[in-house]
Chains A and B, each alone.
Chain A
């Protein structure tokens, strides 16, 4: 059974870089040819797609509203993929989810989700 688990600091200072990792279990990133993505949800608000990456590391797609600050990468050896968001502000405070797309192209729904991790941006 596929499981995804987010990990990383729960508190990040303004102007610093938010770094999260998603560990995948129950399947190998390297053998499944799927896209893997990050989505966030500010407290009490809706969902925002951050970006998605192919299992091989490329291609990848980022939300244009975050593109200048986002980087997503894959570590096949560790069966993980990661998110980095630079120059954070309080507006980046949110629950961050990792997820797997249901297919081998980025234009597919998100069928498997991690439980989410709250990241607060505050000094």
Chain B
């Protein structure tokens, strides 16, 4: 299995802050990485795929980068709607598809 490790597990930040979350894969996954945002009581929402491509309708303050084994998602200026838990997911291999453990972005 390809293990996905996210850091930090919790992040405290203020409105307007620049926020970066890191995801590391246990082996190279090229750019086959997605990021999801999940709010309490809701299903995850796809934000970014292929490491850096924004899903339609996702605000431009979100950006993704990386390839191989190290990836990041950055929120350039944190907004109230962005407080949520973020998950990375590799889809290089479907045996199995795997998610990171999640990063909760909370209000400082």
Give per-residue flags for B66-108: 1 if the beta carbon is below 8 A from chain A beta carbons, else 0: 0000000000000000000001010111111111111000000
Contact A47 B44 (CB under 8 A): yes
Chain B residues with Cβ below 8 Å from A106 are 94, 97
Among A19-27, A83-91, A108-116, the stretch that binds chain B is: A108-116
Contact B95 A110 (CB under 8 A): no
Complex Cα distance A87/B30, Å? Answer: 37
Nearest CB of chain A from residue B96's CB, rounded to whole Å? 4
Contact B95 A46 (CB under 8 A): no
Chain B residues with Cβ below 8 Å from A52 are 94, 97
Chain A residues with Cβ below 8 Å from B93 are 107
Contact B43 A97 (CB under 8 A): yes
Interface pairs (13), CB distance under 8 Å: A37-B97, A46-B99, A47-B99, A48-B99, A61-B95, A64-B95, A97-B44, A102-B49, A107-B92, A107-B94, A109-B49, A110-B36, A113-B45
The secondary-structure label for the interface of chain B is: loop
B46 part of interface (Cβ distance < 8 Å): yes
Extra pairs beyond A46-B99, A109-B34, A109-B89 (14, CB < 8 Å): A46-B87, A47-B87, A47-B89, A48-B99, A52-B94, A52-B97, A62-B96, A63-B96, A65-B96, A97-B43, A107-B32, A109-B91, A111-B49, A114-B43
Nearest CB of chain A from residue B75's CB, rounded to whole Å? 19
- The residue in chain A whose Cβ has the minimal distance to the Cβ of B89 is A109
